[in-house]
Structure 1
């Protein structure tokens, strides 16, 4: 009977075989035809960065979908234009195994349907790096923030808790983790010691604000200028913004608030603006192009970013806001609390407390010197965590585990 080597040697590409990186994404893809695919611009930009710095072929694997999700940047691409090989199929052991057999390393978004990768990669002797984003607490908060009936929320919450054990088993079996934000980095401390902390962003070095731009904003002693951008959906707390604005009026705090984005909460926001008679103070801008519209507006206009996110999704909003030299005041979800604790920039209040959030904004409005000290620190932190530097760090992390030192 043949025996398996209990400690097989790491994958070693031959001289003529550069290492193949296989990326398994949580993003679902739509394939309108055999030679075209709909993906998000953010995902393709990220994969282009991998293609620029990885010294071998890249294969991306996604599961199929019939419709787009709530992301705002879906684009249809010819497969021939992508800097990677693309495959799309439902994930099963039998389907995944042939797609991973020639991999030097696998980088996979982590979710319940990716737990099968850990034993499969061990069987194939391929290093597996999971990308983690949503802590258990955040998953439960996302469910609570939604509009589903109570019993459906209850079932979903129970399911999340039941998945914890198999998820932890898979995480412990993985070679290493790349943790987007502090929530999962902290939660998985005892589960897998090989963790890399990074912060998601789309801002490249050439798109950063300058300290002079921050000083120019500071010299304008107008009402405090507030910005929110992103998906206008319940988990982002977008419908709380008019309530916060209403309390600012009650505080007699001069302000202007611009809301950039689109989503299911937009109609509610517009109705609340009318109800509270906020038309002279709050403006909805619609969905702005990130590079040509949103970033220029943020860098030249905003003093403070209002972030009523009701859960700890480690959104790219945080670092991208810092990149514009703008501090954040928001709810104490895990992602923002972790970032504020790490950087001492901005401030948090208890979840869903619109009055306290308005009061905190009022405090910053009365202490502009403090606000702009935070603004300069935000830009400094973002300068150390640009899109390029973040991907360089993540790619070096992958390369380390191609041929890790012996334990």
Structure 2
């Protein structure tokens, strides 16, 4: 196929970038790996627009722009998007979560290219996040709420005018899918085929649970109020007071780290609850989850599509968590765990405590979760998204 007949894709990505002399850029290594996948699966030239403004990057590396498999374009941090940026393109992929990328319907319809939005947060989740920011004065929080409602109007107009929509998670699909006939639901995660729990690992876990060994709980993620991390120690304390034989390993960092560490010591939980620094997902967290845990403890209060759900299920772990909209819907479809009322650590602890005498159920739900997660493994999910883009042409 002649080069110009090959479909051209351009994406505006939220990834950080640091521009350097001599044609060098610092990019997140995982981002570059993701871009390589786009280059492999898209049947034509691929470009990416990034916004300047970053000064540091924890997991970055230097790359020569000429060596990248995609054409990298840099714009200022707050630069508005224009029709000129998408000239001679066939597909434009934009983030529906960024107010800077919510184009007016007239502009969308005037483009030669087809616009496809990707979204994962709902208005409800945005409002929850804003409400948790107690450090801001009440008047500023009220202004933020009003601003979010105004952006939601822009968001829905853009989604209706777009040629397609990709919704990450059930809440986003339920909220925005009806706005666009060409919409795709996907469950984002990092579980490639080789990362899933093996049959042998599942059998060993089942045998261990049947033997009456302590139930091993695990939690990983950002230790922040919006993630419900403040409920981890209260749940563990209730289990300990009820006499349950268990351990809880917490992996993560965040503003609640010191509070959690102090709570573990204060309540005499040091022999049961261990607080660890964040570890590499593929090399450490996955092997630990597959061989040293039985249940993932989720105190997540928001309804965003945390990839932790599918990733934990893929490691053979059923989930005990609050019934936010994402987990409530995923639980109904996968039967991969248990739920408790939102923000109720006592109810969540009671749910886990009851499992001490229903160990076969833990193993059965683990198997169901693993089976469900395999249907949404990374490669298949990525290919379905690329297929939708091709079919949108």
- Give the TM-score of the pair, scaled to structure 1: 0.89
| Per-residue deviation, residues 223-249 of structure 1 (Å, max 9, x unmatched) | 110111112222111222111111111
2:89 matched to 1:89?
no
**Aligned 1:70-219 pairs, distance under 5 A:** 74-80=59-65, 81-90=67-76, 92-93=79-80, 96-110=82-96, 111-116=98-103, 118-151=105-138, 152-219=140-207
Say whether the 8 Å CA contact 1:329–1:357 is kept in structure 2. yes
Query: For residue 363 of structure 2, what is the aligned residue in structure 1?
Result: 372
Q: Report if the CA contact (8 A) 1:142-1:310 is conserved.
A: no
Moved more, 341-350 or 318-327: 341-350
Displacement of 1:277: 1.3
57 and 362 in structure 1: CA distance in 2 versus 1, 3 angstrom threshold = same
Aligned to 2:223: 232
For residues 269-284 of structure 1, the aligned pairs below 5 Å read: 269-284=260-275
Distance apart, 1:37 and its partner CA? 3.7
> What is the CA deviation profile of residues 57-110 of structure 1, one whole-angstrom value per residue up to 9, with x for unaligned ones?
2111122233569xxx632331445432222213545x5433211211011111
Match of 1:8 in 2: none
CA contact (8 A) 1:251 1:359 kept: no
Deviation at 1:255, TM superposition (A): 1.0
Indicate how the Cα distance of structure 1 residues 67 and 92 shifts in structure 2: closer, same or farther if over 3 A, else same: closer
SS for the counterpart of 2:94 is strand
> Which moved further from structure 2: 57-66 or 199-208?
57-66
Say which SS state the counterpart of residue 356 (structure 2) adopts: helix
* Partners of 2:218 and 2:325 in 1: CA distance: 21
Structure 2 distance, partners of 1:246, 1:115, is: 46
Q: Helix, strand or coil: the match of 1:305?
A: strand
List gaps (5 residues or longer) in structure 2. none
Contact 2:233 2:260 in 1 (8 A): yes
Contact kept in structure 1, 2:50 and 2:74, CA below 8 Å? yes
Distance 2:106 2:279 in 1: 43
- 1:117-138 per-position Cα deviation (integer Å, ceiling 9, x unaligned): 7543321221111001001111
| Whole-angstrom distance in 2 between the partners of 1:45 and 1:153 | 38
**Partners of 1:211 and 1:376 within 8 A in 2:** no
- CA distance in 1 between counterparts of 2:92 and 2:268 reads 54
Q: Which has the higher contact order (CA 8 A, sep 6+)?
A: 1
- Structure 1: runs of 5+ lacking an equivalent: 1-12, 403-407
Work out which of the residue numbers 369, 377, 389 in structure 2 matches 1:398.
389
Deviation at 1:32, TM superposition (A): 5.0
Asked if 1:59 is matched to 2:47, the reply is yes
Shift of 1:147: 4.1
Q: CA deviation at 1:325?
A: 1.1
Partner in structure 2 of residue 310 of structure 1: 301
Q: Tell me which moved more, 384-393 or 83-92.
A: 83-92
Whole-angstrom distance in 1 between the partners of 2:32 and 2:94: 15
Q: Which runs of 4+ in 1 moved over 4 A?
A: 13-16
- 1:269 aligned counterpart, secondary structure: helix
CA RMSD of aligned residues (A): 2.1
Q: Distance in 1 between matches of 2:255 and 2:193?
A: 33
Give SS of 2:316's match.
coil
Number of aligned pairs?
A: 386
- What is the TM-score normalised by the length of structure 2? 0.92
Q: Distance in 1 between matches of 2:339 and 2:20?
A: 44
Partners of 1:36 and 1:354 lie apart in 2 by: 49
Q: Is residue 88–residue 112 contact of structure 2 (8 Å, CA) maintained in 1?
A: no
